[in-house]
Structure 1
Amino acid sequence: MPTSDGETIILPAPSPTQTYVTVSALDAGHITLPERLFITDADPQKKRTVPSMAFLIQHPLPEPTNIIFDLGVKRDIESYTPAQHAHILQRQPVTVHPDVTDSLQKGGLHPSDIHKVILSHVHWDHIGTPSDFPNSEFFVGSGTQHILAHGDGPYYPAELFHADELPANRTFEFPPTANSEPGKASEQQIPHTWYPLAGFPAVIDFFNDGSIYIVDARGHMSAHLNLLLRVGPKKWVYLGGDCCHDPRILTGEKGIAMYDDGRGGVRSVHVDLDSAAEMVKRVRLLMGEGRVVQQEKNGDRKEVVVEVVVAHDEVWRKGNAGRFWPGRL
């Protein structure tokens, strides 16, 4: 299976009957981030109001399937838990409109038209309003239901989540990877197999047609997911969720911040800093630090482009207004 060769990232070539997906960004609220908590060498007083973007992915065959990656901020801000409210007070100003439903309707879709929702993770600014999607199956990383009930380590305790946030009968976890914590996976799993691809240790071919790859992106949370999407013969899109919170970390201009944890030590915004830093290195290679190619059947290698978008990139948001639904990436 193509994966990597030194600094060359190898992606699989399109099949003769290759399916391609379309991707559209969705506005899904805005939050405000104190830079000192996210990037190194930050002005301790500086804050940035950034989007919490979602994405509409449309898969055409064998019948059209509408998928959303992440749901952004809840429309009803009062429905967050008291502990979430206390956290949100530190992220003001927060805007809830347009949310995902508003953004879909702008292009003529309704939440009832969405077949599947994939969540990168279940923090408050990505969970949105699942009840808006009555016909959708929800797909999450292994251990997510355990996180919603019990938290994800000391810095993300249970009170920062709703245990019943997702519809139990329509929510499916991807299977555990070799690095998953034992005993925390849900019994309601989908029968997929992880394998290495493009420098990532574990991906899943979601439709088994090389169009949508689920990437195990643990680091920010233990069940964090990214997506690698084939949008054209030589064009891919990588949706990085919260692999980092500032694009300058991806370019190498800044590093991941460490700050006082309130317990006599230091912490980052990630539950596993080493894994998060490793993810950043892998994504940088996709962005051009390495050579990205497709391995053709005859052994030739053709260079391809991978566009990387992370959830809170306000620079990308400002420069790509025409690529929000009904526009496309």
Structure 2
Amino acid sequence: MITKIVFDLGLRRDITRYSPPIRAHIVTREPIDTSTDIVASLARGGLVPDDVDAIILSHLHWDHCGSPADFKTSQFIVGNGAMALLSEQPTGMSHNHFESNLLPHDRTFELHHPTAPRYDTVLDGAASNALTMRLANRQWQHLGPFPYTLDVFDDGSLYIVWAPGHLAGHINVLCQKKDGTYVYLAGDAGHDLRLLSGEKEIACWRDENHQMCCIHQDIDQARRTLDTIREAWSNKTSLGAVEVVLAHDAAWASKARVAGRYFPGEL
């Protein structure tokens, strides 16, 4: 049996279903096109939400977690520290608003921290799921330039990568292709490929109250995470060739669409 996993859910189809604080932030990001949401994308490959076994969320910002309510049987996997964000209390800039009822507690599994001595973060019914229980009993392992990874299937085909800095619980995935090379889905570890090439630096600015702002919660950790991704991107590690995909890389998205890499195509 093939386990079907989705990484991130993108934008919510109906943006009026976001909480008022998030909708207020979305106004500053318009125009937004939600015509092809995750449900429509799955349908192109002949799948419906109930076909999805698990959803790995890179983090809980509104533009990555879509509509979890559409997935009534799937398990949700989040990074350590993510669930504490779901209090609907702002934690910084206007994009940092969260919905307390976003995820189903009986189907949500929060990964243990890489340095935790024991696992203690199963949430309710997620403990009875075979996939999440495997992850619960796995130790984070060093892989190539990445200090902490979890081998999801114990066969090297899919790794969850600890990628702190952007937001509490931020994780990435490393996927092995049929030819043995890798695609690294970096979430919001960076928002421009020039951060990896060294042409650009992480942006910081002062708001109207002269408060220093950054898109990342912890800029020092974000820099360290980018350093490890950059090393993998160099194709000079034990992993060999690694393509890095940033969630907001419009240039990559355009090329991938032309090349037929969107589902039901292959990365």
TM-score bin (small chain): 0.7 to 0.9
Please, which of 285, 289, 296 is the counterpart of residue 231 of structure 2? 285
Match in the other structure for 2:250: 314
Does 2:9 correspond to 1:71? yes
Task: Spell out structure 1 runs of 4+ moving beyond 6 A.
Answer: none
CA distance in 1, matches of 2:41, 2:47: 9
**Count of aligned pairs:** 252
Which consecutive unaligned segments of at least 5 residues does structure 2 have?
Answer: 128-135
Where in structure 2 are the equivalents of 1:193-272 lying within 5 Å? 193-272=139-218
Any idea what SS the aligned residue of 1:232 has? coil
Match of 2:30 among 77, 92, 105: 92
Pairing 1:305–2:250 present: no
Gap change, CA 1:293 and 1:195, over 3 Å in 2: closer
Indicate if the aligned counterparts of 2:61 and 2:95 stay in contact, CA closer than 8 A: no
Q: How far apart, CA to CA, are the structure 1 residues paired with 2:16 and 2:99? A: 13
The structural deviation recorded for 1:233 is: 4.7
Whole-Å separation in 1 of the counterparts to 2:79 and 2:246: 18
1:261: Cα distance to partner? 3.8
**Residue 72 of structure 1: CA displacement?**
0.3
- The question of whether the paired residues in 1 share the 8 Å contact of 2:144 and 2:238 is answered with no
**Superposed displacement of residue 270, structure 1:** 0.3
Structure 1 CA distance, aligned partners of 2:165 and 2:261?
Answer: 29
| Structure 1 position 234, deviation (Å) | 2.9
How much is the aligned-residue C-alpha RMSD, in angstroms?
Answer: 2.1
- Verify the 8 A CA contact 2:22 2:95 in the aligned structure 1: no
1:134 counterpart = 2:72 = yes
Contact 2:75–2:107 (CA<8 Å) still a contact in 1? yes
CA distance, structure 2, for counterparts of residue 149 and residue 70 of structure 1: 20
What secondary structure is seen at the aligned counterpart in 2 of 1:215? strand
Give the aligned partner of residue 133 of structure 2: none
Residue in 1 that maps onto 2:58? 120
* TM-score, normalised with respect to structure 1: 0.72
In structure 1, what is the equivalent of residue 39 of structure 2? 101
User: Structure 1, unaligned stretches of length 5 or more?
Assistant: 1-62, 180-184, 295-303
Question: Of 78, 101, 126, which aligns to 1:164?
Answer: 101
* Corresponding letter in the other structure for 2:250: E
Q: Look up the match of 2:112.
A: 175
Structure 1 vs Structure 2: percent identity of aligned residues?
40
Greater RCO (CA < 8 Å, at least 6 residues apart): 1
Bigger mean CA deviation after superposition, 277-286 or 266-275: 277-286
